[in-house]
Structure 1
Amino acid sequence: MRLSSSSSSFSLTSLSVLLHTLCRHFSSNSKLPTLTKIPYKHRTRAIKQAQEVLTDYLHTTRALPYTYAEHISKNSFYSLSDLISQVHFSASDFRRTFLKFLRYNPVNEFGFFYESIGIDYLDVPRFSKANVHFFSDDSSVLDAACKLAAFGFPWDKLGSLYVEKFSIFGKEPGFLSARLNGLLAIGFSNQQVVGICLAFPLLLDVELGSSGEIDALVDDLKRVFVDFDLGSQVEGNVDVWYEVSRKIKVFYDLGVDKGKVGEVMDRSKTVFIDYPEKAFVEKVEFFCRLGVNKTDVGFLLLRYPGILSIKFNDRVISVLGFLNHFGVQSKKLKRVMHRYPYVFGRNKMVHLPHILRALDLHEWFFNRMKCGYYYLWETYDLNSPDEGADENYLRNLEKVKSSIRSDYTTSKLQFFHWIGFGENKFTVKLLTAVHGSASDLQERFDFLLNEGIEFSKICKMIISSPKVLNQEIPSLRQKIDYFREEMGLSLEHLEGFPAYLMYNLEKRIKPRYRFHNISV
């Protein structure tokens, strides 16, 4: 829950929820402080009293403005719990005992501060300076935090700024004011400036106009927020503008040049206001799994924001029916079915990127998307409840579900579907031939892919020599290195002879290769 600069004290209900979360966390992480010395029925009250005492201590003894002292005490739950655990507990006079403890045992103020701004308690030591415990020793960090909070930055989100760009907290308050006022002068609202800076902390660290990249970024943001008057179309607050800014940042992460996002905003502003961030991220991940150029993925979503409304998580497809629906010519479809029979049958639509890569049709599909045929994706549905169903697969699936190792085998089966294998007899046979957990198999598959073997070729290697996936990664690495460096062969040759990866390197591969060289 976001805590604004004007938040009041926590309710007892909120404390109970936090305490419950803390107790659950203690059971799985021994590095976190515990409150086991305090009877459960007294913990909520003890925490509330400790927060009040710490607030007064920071305000009166350490001369912090009351608002910020309260922010620190209310948002440093684990640090406070650690302190409470050092004090003898008595239900009748805990407040007095805790206050006395603070008088004679000054706290590490920076530890409380870092946790309060949103940095994970276990990560706090990573950001703490050696021998610097009090704000009076180094006031720059607190001064910067107070300046940002006074402007409207949520206190418990300042940690994300610190982690991503800690140099901001070494700036003079006047420097930060100039950066913030500069953004206001462009036309952004106060809340928009906060959301923008949370997503792009660099804007608080450099002067506007200091580089072409900064100018291009600000130009994009101005077009999105100001020129297209997004504020009149959205009931905005800091969280909303932060989310819009994060969406813009996704396009930059995909490789879209700064300054380009704004150019297509006249037809794409719905990307930023009509669709939840979850749908946005899902579609980005979906298309990136096609293995296509990430920048092209960004421009696709900007050009056709309607793609973001397509739902696929629970949808089932018949691979044959889907390809027919998308207009694959009959002759080409027959060739594809002959070459990749193990991909056909039913599968989940969420697996579609890998299905298409297993068929070597991923680029064809993406080009169809770029030409505006995404509506075919939205209108697709099974022609009948039984379309694409394989009776042999269904019978074996029932056996898997009733087996002793049902969960283990089912997860392995889901791995094969995930990489594009359909619900068919070929996939069922792999269950007995391939050994290893789903995570092990995924790691081995990814290793082969990262070595440069094409996705569809790896799938073909698995279907012809399933035990390829039984090899441990160190063994695979040694054999591939020998294949390329000693034998001088391209990995393309492995498609025709995948069994090479199953042989023992020292006992079989090397002796045979030496014999081959001698005989030649």
Structure 2
Amino acid sequence: MRLFPSSTGDFLMLLSSRFYSSTTSAASAASTLNLKNLPYRNRPRALAEAKLAITDYLHATSALPFALADHIASNSPVSLRSFVSQIPFDDASPSDFRRILRHFLAYHPVNEFDFFFESIGLHPSHPSFPSGISPFLSDDARLLAAVSSLLRFGFPCTLLGNLYLDSPSIFSSPPGHLLHLLRRFEGLGLPRLCVIAICLTFPCTLHASDHDVEAELLCRDLKILFLDYGLAGYAGDDVHAFLRFCRRIRVFYDFGLGKGGMGELLGCNRRVFLEFDEFILAQRLNFLQNLGMCKEEVGLFTLNNPEILDLDLDNADIVMPDYLIRAGLGKEEADSVTKKYSYVMGKNKVKNLPAIMKALNLNKWFFTKIVHEKNLHFLSLSHSHTDSFNTKLESEFLQNLERIKLVKRQRFIDPKAEFFLSIGLGKNKSTSKAIWVVSANKEQLQERFDCLIGLGIEHSMLCRMIATAPKLLNQSRDMLLEKTKYLCHDLGYPIEYLNTFPAFLFFNLENRIKPRYKILNWLRDSGLMKKPFAPATVVATSEKKFIFTLSIIHPEAPKLWLEFFSSQKGDNGDADMVRFSNSCSCSLEEMMRSRSLNLQKE
């Protein structure tokens, strides 16, 4: 049974320029491989001869059609250059290159999968490649059969790699199964290029059985949009245009749009798929989800209210608390919010409204106002500027930002400012202070913020903590996890305690927090300490004051601390502390013996 088109001409039609583009990224990667085994002037000749040798090798060894073998060799520059770098050319003449290459291939078989996967658009060292398999393509008949079916139908060669990454099991399908599915979808009336784009965008369609209703409903929806509402006319004969449209449509299905019965709604919003790329669509739908809408409702809500897509979320500004009053919050309540959440006041972007409302603990009120009461006009540019714009507040913020840039690396300042604004803080003195004391970059700050949110800290509470003690974001994610675990599991305090004492996260866990609690726990277990101390009392005090606290519990406790528990163990050079511990009058053993006798008398 032949797995590929019988004639070279047929296969070349499948590889026409209409369906694939050159892999420039692979070529760029190939240029970084040095061919130290060849003089510079001979490298182009060696690579050209190697391409011919690999083509003949694949054609003879794996019995691939010559056109396919040539395509693989011509579109795998990284693998080809790597192969050439292994050849012992020594001082051979360029006229001998062909003989040397064929002799090398006779005794050193290449990994044909490296060449093959690179030719369909993947880097040869991609971690998704199967390991421990035979180096010969002919040993994976199902892979070749699947690729043959897809190419025969018209799939672009260089896009098959993306399909493999999304769903590698498709390439293990039984022979003929893929063509059967593809012709079934084409039988619904969809153009072939449209079917290809649908399958590349929704790989689940190539897993469908004959009785899979969902895949058929999806195709029926898209048939209405592409044919009845004429979206296909804007794609012409360009499979990449169909692919762009399908990716934009997928955004809505990813946000809960139900398959089947949505063709009319999609068609009525044809403009959405013509004017907005998938990034903008995803950004707008994420905005609604972040406001508080269930993900399953976002897609349908947006198509029923497409004006949300025309909002300029990135450039429109709002000013707190003026915006809250315009949105319907009472004057007295707005004044109360201003006093309580001063670090949120000032200028910010409309796109940060979900985070701003969470920081103010007004997210439920705002969601009801915008979504349930259909006041989407409050998100428009006309409602973002106010007459009472506090220029002084923003001016101070910008001046502080410029001072920071003079001292610290300028390229990190604006991204950090963007992060703090994105979590709900406004352009004010608290935010500029946070930018000054925090040393991490934007990605690290986001990771640490998400980590603390994931631990159960409310958004509003966390923003207050950051405004009060921004240095907590200087802790790495792993350290934040360790310290909060110790606070909650070992000390038994709720995570909300950090709202009272966020500085707990500043102190060294191994050298300060744990040693101090070790001696306190020992004194408690020994019956010497009846009243527990809160972390703010234990951790935030100086070493000298902590030793004084121990002396109140028992005069011998400071000596015990310096000898056995303190991470410094007397190496801190503080003569006052050493003299203080030496002044303890009785030994701990005597005290314990005395306590035991007293208990016996009782």
Matched residue, 1:422 = 426
Question: CA-to-partner distance for each residue in 1:268-316, whole Å, 9 max, x for gaps?
Answer: 3433333222322332344444464322332332222332233343454
Size of the aligned set, in residue pairs, is 505
Residue number among 502, 509, 514 corresponding to 1:506 in the alignment: 514
**Residues 201 and 471 of structure 1, relative CA distance in 2, 3 Å threshold:** closer
Q: For 1:446-485, what per-residue CA distance to the aligned partner results, in whole angstroms no more than 9, with x for missing partners?
A: 2110011111110012223334334444454344335544
Range that drifts further, 67-76 or 261-270: 261-270
Are 2:345 and 1:344 aligned? yes
Equivalent-residue separation in structure 2 for 1:496 and 1:254 (angstroms): 38
Q: Which moved more, 1:469-478 or 1:238-247?
A: 469-478
Which residue of the partner structure matches residue 149 of structure 1?
151
Task: Give me the whole-angstrom Cα distance separating, in 2, the residues matched to 1:281 and 1:328.
Answer: 30
Is 1:112 the counterpart of 2:112? The answer is no
Contact kept in structure 2, 1:344 and 1:422, CA below 8 Å: yes
SS in structure 2 opposite 1:240? helix
**RMSD over aligned Cα, in angstroms?**
3.8
Distance 1:364 1:233 in 2: 42
2:530 alignment counterpart: 518
Given residue 506 of structure 1, which amino acid in structure 2 is its aligned partner? Answer: K
CA contact (8 A) 1:287 1:297 kept: yes
Q: For residue 55 of structure 1, what is the amino acid of its counterpart? A: T
- Give a deviation string over 1:214-247, Cα, whole Å, max 9, x none: 4544444444445544324543632222233323
Aligned position for 1:457:
461
Which residue does the alignment assign to 2:71?
71
Which protein has the larger Cα radius of gyration, Structure 1 or Structure 2? 2
The answer to whether 1:192 aligns with 2:194 is: yes
Give the TM-score normalised by structure 2: 0.72
Partner of 2:209: 207
Query: What secondary structure is seen at the aligned counterpart in 2 of 1:390?
Result: helix
In the TM superposition, what is the alpha-carbon distance from 1:438 to its structure 2 partner? 4.1
Instruction: Write out aligned runs for 1:11-26 (5 A).
Output: 19-20=27-28, 22-23=30-31, 26=32
Is 1:318 equivalent to 2:319 in the alignment? yes
Indicate the residue corresponding to 2:284 in structure 1. Answer: 283
SS in 2 for 1:347: strand
User: Is the Cα–Cα contact under 8 Å of residues 280 and 308 in structure 1 kept in the other structure?
Assistant: yes
In the alignment, residue 243 of structure 1 is paired with which amino acid?
R
Relative to structure 1, is the Cα distance of residues 369 and 192 closer, same or farther in structure 2, using a 3 angstrom cutoff? farther
| 1:469 lines up with 2:481 in the alignment | no
User: Contact 1:5 / 1:67 at 8 angstroms: preserved in 2?
Assistant: no
Give runs of aligned pairs for residues 240-251 of structure 1, distance below 5 A. 240-251=241-252
Between the aligned partners of 2:322 and 2:14, the Cα distance in structure 1 is 56
Return the offset for 1:168. Answer: 2.1
More deviation in 69-78 or 480-489? 480-489
2:161 corresponds, among 155, 159, 162, to 159
Question: Contact conserved, 1:15 with 1:44, CA < 8 A, in 2?
Answer: no
Match of 1:55 in 2: 55
Unaligned runs of at least 5 residues, structure 1: 27-32
State which drifts further: 130-139 or 416-425. 130-139
Partner of 2:16: 7
Query: Secondary structure of 1:337's match?
Result: helix
Shift of 1:92: 5.2
**CA deviation string 1:344-379 (max 9, x = no partner):** 222344444323322233444444443543344333
- 5+ unaligned residues in a row in structure 2: which ranges? 1-11, 533-602
Counterpart for residue 304 of structure 1: 305
- Structure 2 residue aligned with 1:293: 294
* CA distance in 1 between partners of 2:24 and 2:118 (Å): 19
Which range moved further: 90-99 or 349-358?
Answer: 90-99
TM-score (norm 1): 0.82
Alpha carbons of structure 1 residues 344 and 39: separation in structure 2 relative to 1, 3 Å: farther
Distance 2:172 2:24 in 1: 37
- Does structure 1 retain, via aligned residues, the 8 Å contact 2:146–2:173? yes
Per-residue CA deviations over 1:53-102 (Å, capped at 9, x if unaligned) read 43344346643223322321222121111112223275555455445544
Q: 1:132 and 1:429 mapped to 2: Cα distance?
A: 60
